[in-house]
Structure 1
Amino acid sequence: MSDSSAVRGSRDDRPGDERKRTSIPTFYRQVVAELRKVVYPTQEQLVTYFFVVMVFVIVMMAIVSALDLGFGKLAFAIFAG
């Protein structure tokens, strides 16, 4: 087996390797720079995503409700005698 650095661990595990803190203005500038990279959906995409999510949630609710009803009837059939 080889003694590569990937096997021995990450750089964060070394003693004496301290992380530097970022100042608040630098952090803010970095956040703003990252937010400028975000691609926001159009209104048409947003409406489409909304309906897709709603249909998925309704279908999952129907499946869970059907399973709950079925297992409830099964439990009553078993324990009611």
Structure 2
Amino acid sequence: MHLAQRLAEQYPGSQYFIDLHGFTPGTNPLTPELEPATLERRSALWRSHISGARAPLVVDNAVDAAYVRPLLPASPGSWS
């Protein structure tokens, strides 16, 4: 989070922070919305939304890597 805040000036158009509530007491982990109907289509919609954008993406509090993978951009060199 601190790194994303320091980099925010380099990415004035967009910054994304997603708290998946994987380990938040009293809160169920977030699940993908119901539209589109499949995880693959939801992932494709998200990826098309961020395609070509230079924006930091902070994903916090995930239960495991499977919760994060659908959020990662698919293009080579777009995440590390």
TM-score, scaled to structure 1: 0.25
* Larger relative helix fraction: 1
Which has a greater percent of strand? 2
What is the TM-score with the length of structure 2 in the denominator? 0.25
Structure with higher RCO (Cα < 8 A, 6+ apart): 2
